């Protein structure tokens, strides 16, 4: 009888956790740095085969975004690149996607084997705007401004841990991300 009650309590607790919507924290696979005064995404070495797309938004804190239910363009200007899924031969498994580059110039041309969005509406960075970049594979998003990136010292990157910003050396970023691969 005692075993049954304990089992019921464990099942109930597990059900409550599932209903609570808890999910694991996002993976810290992305960082941003300035290269020749151009924002550049740094992808963790261990995650190059996990990142299949990158999306960048310009955030205008003064604007009201259109509700998600309205058809039309995204509420903020955006830029996207992704690795297209190659066609599979009949009866065969799909071929693997091309790896993400270790560094990707944001708003630059897509990496070899990748595609750019035909409707990319974000074409240049502005000093008075904040930007939000994220990728596939449940990666932690990084928010940045040009001014914030210019504050980084040589060898430093701006990354995210869970939902918090972090400035760290690129070497420390790679080590920390490696623990999640």
* Total domains in the fold of the chain: 1
Among 28, 58, 25, smallest CA distance to 135 is for 28
| Residue 78 is assigned to a structural domain of this protein | yes
Q: Is residue 10 part of a domain?
A: no
What confidence tens digit (pLDDT) does each residue in 53-102 have? 999 999 876 655 555 555 554 568 899 999 887 655 555 555 567 888 99
Q: The pTM is what?
A: 0.76
Of 54, 56, 77, 55, which Cα lies nearest the Cα of 65? Answer: 77
pLDDT recorded at residue 8: 40
Instruction: Flag whether 129 is in a domain.
Output: yes
Q: pLDDT (tens digit, 9 = 90+) per residue, 93-140? A: 555 678 889 999 999 999 998 999 988 999 999 999 999 999 986 788
Domain of residue 172: give its range. Answer: 28-86+96-178
pLDDT value at position 6? 41
Rounded to whole angstroms, the Cα distance separating 99 from 148 reads 29
pLDDT tens digits, 1-17: 444 444 344 334 444 34
Beta strands in 136-178 (DSSP E): 142-144, 156-161, 164-169
Residue given tokens 């990666």 in the structure block: 139
4 within some domain: no
Residue 131 lies in a domain: yes
Residue 17 lies in a domain: no
Q: Tell me whether residue 154 is in a domain.
A: yes
pLDDT tens digits for 135-171? 986 788 999 999 999 999 999 999 988 778 999 999 9
The predicted structure's pLDDT at residue 127: 93
């Amino acid at each position: 009888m005692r075993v049954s009650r304990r089992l019921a309590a464990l099942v109930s607790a597990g059900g409550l956790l599932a209903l609570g919507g808890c999910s694991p924290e996002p993976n810290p696979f992305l960082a941003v740095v300035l290269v020749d005064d151009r924002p550049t995404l740094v992808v963790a070495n261990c995650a190059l085969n996990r990142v299949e797309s990158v999306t960048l938004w310009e955030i205008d804190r003064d604007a009201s975004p259109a509700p998600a239910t309205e058809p039309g363009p995204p509420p903020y200007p955006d830029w996207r690149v992704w690795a297209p899924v190659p066609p599979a031969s009949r009866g065969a498994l799909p071929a693997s996607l091309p790896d993400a580059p270790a560094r990707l110039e944001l708003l630059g041309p897509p990496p070899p084997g990748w595609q750019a969005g035909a409707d990319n509406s974000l074409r240049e960075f502005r000093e008075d705007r904040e930007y939000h970049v994220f990728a596939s594979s449940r990666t932690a998003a990084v928010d940045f401004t040009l001014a914030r990136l210019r504050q980084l010292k040589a060898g430093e990157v701006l990354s995210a841990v869970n939902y918090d910003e972090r400035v760290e050396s690129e070497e420390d970023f790679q080590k920390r991300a490696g623990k999640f691969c």
